A = this chain, B = another copy of it.
């Protein structure tokens, strides 16, 4: 079974200024391909922090996806950190330069933009149909932009290259019940279906306690079975179905 990690690089996420949107997107995309997203790390724009996180993740996961830090400004240090982690130099990649030339006129392709063509030796480029400046793949690490529209376009171009397993399916139902009233019955359902991952997520809306029960796994029939048993449990508890 393939698994994956995401390494988000960016002070703007850690300061709370920017709400990350890439983890949820990649989590869904990977699940659809049967790849378990096992871990996410978010680190600052700091080379030792990036290198340490990357080395830990790339040796323990089938794939690592990074987001952020491959633009033209001084705070974009991801490519240099990846090169450092792999012990290779950066080189001005001729194909990356060609792609930038397709977007920028001669007067526009300044030193800052050419920095986006500095790619670790041995990497393969990842297409960027939005703004041309490529991402790259180095061994099992895919290096992508942080801007969500660009990350998505890059991922769409690489996802066919990933190992594919049975898609992770899910079913859910939301019940008007307090989680503690449901917990014991839900444990019995989980125990009867060890191959299904049963999750319980409480929420509070307008003073009303809701619980969403999510069943995840690769066998639709088993997920439907868990949902059916959950509805029986809800009926026994007199809990109304809020959704699902």
A residues near B (Cβ < 8 Å) are 8, 11-21, 23-29, 31, 37-45, 49, 53, 71-75, 104, 108, 110-113, 115-116, 130-131, 147, 149, 168, 170, 172, 179-184, 186-187, 190, 197-204, 214, 216
Residue from B16, B21, B115, B116 in contact with A25 in the complex, judged by beta carbons closer than 8 Å: B16
User: In the assembled complex, which residues on chain B have CB atoms less than 8 Å from the CB atom of A20?
Assistant: 20, 23
Residues of B close to A183: CB separation below 8 A: 72-74, 110, 112-113, 115
Instruction: Note all chain B residues with C-beta closer than 8 A to A19.
Output: 19, 21, 24
Q: How far is the CA of A180 from the CA of B76 in the complex (A)?
A: 12
A-B contact pairs, 26 of them (CB 8 A): A11-B199, A12-B199, A14-B39, A14-B40, A15-B31, A15-B170, A16-B26, A16-B29, A17-B27, A17-B172, A19-B19, A38-B49, A39-B41, A39-B53, A40-B41, A40-B42, A71-B179, A72-B180, A73-B179, A73-B187, A74-B183, A75-B200, A110-B184, A112-B187, A113-B180, A149-B204
Residue from B18, B37, B179 within 8 A of A72 (CB atoms): B179
Known: A73-B183, A110-B180, A190-B74. A23 touches B38 (CB 8 A): no
Question: This chain: how many copies in the complex?
Answer: 2
Shortest distance from the beta carbon of A166 to any chain B beta carbon, whole Å: 15
Q: Would you give the shortest CB distance from A123 to chain B, in whole angstroms? A: 21
When distances are taken between beta carbons in the complex, the residues of chain B under 8 Å from A187 are 73-74, 112
- Pairwise interchain contact A14-B38, C-beta atoms closer than 8 A: yes
